[in-house]
């Protein structure tokens, strides 16, 4: 069997594969395939002549090639093709893994594809396919074949069937990155997103600060006529977003995080256990707690403090 070395060299250059490494892999694959046959000489090894392209079988005891078994050329042709194909696929997979590893923690755009598993949303990312498993999907969202979608890249690894790109629609980082795409002040670092607490599909609380005097961080994220925050909400299919001011003072931070409720007073009661007592107007107690405790729960998650909410009872004399 004679291998076209010129064509092999062209393939190796086009796919950034070491020519010598490719030859060694072909020799190894032919040797292994031959040794699995019933009549094989177990001392035989395949060698590819670097000048002529001839593949022959040799033993360590002789420099003369062994007699080739029947159909050896057809057998070797299949192995060479398979080895080259697998090596090209391996290099392409490594390239894709490297490309998408660079965007882990960022947002990618793609088109939803009809998947093999109805529980998984597959996304065509151009050079590769990503997947959104069930636990990373928002229950209130609908994923229709052909729809364009933005998703957060959680993890990239080489799987048994090729690159495995794990995407998410529930990750808090998705909200943060969507704002960085919409708000130039966030992208430039003038405004910093300090924290995100999210219950995907329902509500998100996000805290912000500015690094430049005269720049309103909340206003930057809201945008003229609310266009910027509305754009992010539209991408999240109507998820509500509360934007609050971050503060080093936990009392001020917690009070802001409980928006839209108004806070009368906020006092740290146990700094070690990170407990804080908050008083709100009696008529806003339910607003501060939120439906099923959602507002208080998100505020606690955003600030990292355990919040004890009390109503301001006014006695009538």
User: What is the per-residue pLDDT across 252-291, written as a single tens digit (0 to 9) for each?
Assistant: 999 999 999 999 999 999 999 999 999 999 999 999 999 9
Q: Is 249 exposed, middle or buried (0-12, 13-18, 19+ CB in 10 A)?
A: exposed
Q: What is the mean pLDDT of residues 45-50?
A: 89
Q: What is the pLDDT of residue 39?
A: 74
Of the candidates 280, 260, 279, 268, the residue with the CA atom closest to the CA atom of residue 305: 268
pLDDT digits (tens, 9 = 90+) for 204-218: 999 999 999 999 999
Backbone angles phi, psi at 166, to 5 degrees: -90, 120
Whether pLDDT at 316 is above 50: no
Q: What is the mean pLDDT of residues 129-140?
A: 95
| Residue matched to tokens 């490309």 | 99
Q: What is the pLDDT of residue 120?
A: 93
Q: What is the pLDDT of residue 317?
A: 43
**307 three-state secondary structure:** strand
Least confident residue range of 33-42, 119-128, 131-140: 33-42
User: What mean pLDDT, rounded, does the chain reach?
Assistant: 91
Confidence of residue 65 (pLDDT cuts 50, 70, 90): confident
Q: Calculate what percentage of the chain has a pLDDT beyond 70.
A: 98
Give the H/E segment covering residue 114.
none
Q: What is the pLDDT of residue 314?
A: 56
Q: What is the pLDDT of residue 50?
A: 87
Taking the C-alpha atoms of residue 130 and residue 25, their distance in angstroms, rounded to an integer, is 30
For the chain, domains (ranges, CATH) are 5-101 (3.30.1480), 107-168 (2.40.50.140), 171-246 (3.30.300.20), 250-317 (3.30.300.20)
Q: What is the mean pLDDT of residues 1-16?
A: 85
Check residue 29 and report its DSSP letter: H
Q: Calculate what percentage of the chain has a pLDDT beyond 90.
A: 65
Confidence of residue 149 (pLDDT cuts 50, 70, 90): very high
pLDDT digits (tens, 9 = 90+) for 171-182: 999 999 999 999
Peptide bond connecting 270 to the previous residue in cis, omega within 30 degrees of 0:
no
């Amino acid at each position: 069997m004679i291998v076209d070395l010129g064509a092999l060299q062209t393939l190796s250059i086009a796919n950034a594969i070491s020519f010598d490494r490719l030859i060694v892999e072909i020799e190894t694959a032919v040797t292994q395939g031959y040794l699995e046959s019933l009549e094989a000489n177990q001392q035989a090894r395949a060698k590819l002549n670097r000048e002529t392209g001839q593949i022959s079988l040799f033993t360590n005891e002789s420099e003369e090639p062994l007699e080739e078994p029947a159909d050896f050329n057809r057998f070797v042709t299949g192995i060479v093709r398979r080895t080259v194909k697998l090596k090209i696929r391996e290099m392409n997979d490594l390239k894709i893994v490297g490309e998408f590893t660079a965007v882990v923690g960022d947002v990618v755009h793609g088109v939803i594809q009809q998947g093999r598993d109805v529980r998984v949303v597959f996304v065509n990312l151009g050079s590769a396919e990503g997947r959104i498993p069930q636990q990373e999907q928002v229950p209130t969202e609908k994923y229709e074949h052909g729809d364009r979608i933005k998703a957060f890249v959680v993890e990239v690894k080489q799987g048994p069937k090729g690159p495995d790109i794990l995407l998410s629609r529930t990750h808090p980082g998705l909200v943060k990155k969507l704002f960085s795409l919409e708000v130039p002040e966030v992208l430039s670092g003038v405004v910093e997103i300090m924290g995100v607490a999210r219950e995907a599909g329902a509500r998100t609380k996000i805290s912000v600060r500015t690094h430049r005097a005269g720049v309103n961080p909340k206003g930057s994220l809201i945008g003229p006529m609310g266009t910027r925050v509305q754009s992010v909400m539209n991408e999240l299919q109507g998820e509500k977003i509360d934007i609050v001011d971050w503060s080093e003072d936990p009392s001020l931070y917690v009070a802001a995080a409980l928006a839209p409720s108004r806070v009368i007073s906020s006092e740290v009661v146990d700094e070690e256990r990170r407990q804080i007592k908050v008083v709100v107007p009696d008529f806003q107690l339910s607003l501060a707690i939120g439906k099923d405790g959602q507002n208080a729960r998100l505020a606690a998650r955003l600030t990292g403090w355990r919040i004890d909410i009390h109503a301001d009872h006014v006695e009538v004399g």
